[in-house]
Structure 1
Amino acid sequence: MDDCICWNKHGEEGFNEQDGEEGLHETCASGNEEAPFGNGELCDDDVAEIAASPVPMVENLEEMVRDAFDFDEYTGSEFKKLKQPLEDMKTPLYPSCNERYTKLSASLKLLQLKVAHHWTDKGFRELLEVLGDMFPEGNQTPRTTYEAKKIVCPMGLKFEKIHACKKDCILFYGDNAALTECPKCGTSHYKGRTDEGDDGEETHHRVPRKVTWYFPIIPCPKHLFATSKDAQLLTWHSDGRTVDDYIRHPADGIQWRVIDFKNQTFADEPRNLQFALSMDGMNPFGVNIDVYLRPLIDDFKEL
């Protein structure tokens, strides 16, 4: 419609994702692209934000690795991933390359161009393959979109795949994890699938009827307190906030003070974190939202 306003995400002017070429955001289902790196995909908005401020990114990386030496929660593999960006910042794209372009900065610049010009993953991958062949042998050019994003942000997000009843009655989780059918409606946990192998024998697979993805909340505060600068900011509402008649921060509002009044012991420790639950719409018909909140509630109980 000619009189329809073109909204893009939060109302910015410019390119509208829905008007982009088909296949702009390709998924793994097409078979042409890799699975999301690590445990969570780095989206185009994240790339644009990182590319807009590379100097603070470098400083934050160095600080993160220094603080990680004193943080016991990181595993060996996680610590190795933290150190990798620092090594990539010092690795030239190829031996005689301009000092501006290292393995990390070149990958970041290429991803920035991908975002700015709305290149598809398939087209971007083909460009990387050509650049890799054009540059001298042994160059550090990433060969795929997956590899480029992994160089820029190696950590990713941890998630759990939890099976659910097809009719949203329960999660096959905790005490219900081993059940083969829903105890409330009797629906089978799995849908059968039979494949014939090369030797002619049939192999039976148990494929869940419904799967929900859960991002555990516990690692988030651990990582926030792992960096000294972020840990200091987390107590700013108590240590650095100006207390007057103006509202500059949620802590200046009446709602925050009411929560502190009702939970005085909790409020006395400024390092305690308050969590808020936000939903971008939900379908009230036939979906028991409390069923899907169970892993989150269990994490809150553990905290």
Structure 2
Amino acid sequence: MYVWDQCKGMTMILDLLKEAFAHAKLPQSFSDMKKVIRKLGLTSESIHACPNNCKLYWEANAERETCIVCDESRWKKNNSSANSDGKLGHPRDGLAWKAFDIQHPKFAADPRNVRLGLASDGFNPFGTTSSSYSIWPVVLFPYNLPPWISMKQTSIILSMIIPEK
């Protein structure tokens, strides 16, 4: 997903949240949201991933030089890897997904079985540091649809919103 697509996607999620929570003070766009986050002093951490999308180099694996699943080099690209064309890949192209299909052939053979990706991140809807209130939207992505359909607003499922005080 390119940066422009991420901005547009986050702005669409903000629009959805504004509809659901009309009383909440939410940023108007993704760039406005980034400004609020920057003012709060929150930072982000870049986490490397295996070139074949099987594992994150995080916590206990942060210092590894090769993937624990496929033994692919963290730094050098192998021409036989799934994303050697330089484009982002879909999770179903990763070795972990293929290994799941081999371990559970009955599940993989039935096209009616649903594969979902879950994403969540908390934020303060009121935009003030003095308020300890935050919400956590939990979003589901149907991965057994083609990527150009599964990432559209009509396919994304806002399954729940977890309030936290």
TM-score tier by shorter-chain length is 0.3 to 0.5
TM-score (norm 1): 0.21
Greater helix share, structure number: 1
What TM-score does the superposition give when structure 2 sets the normalisation length?
0.33
Higher strand share: 2
Which protein is bigger by CA-based radius of gyration?
1
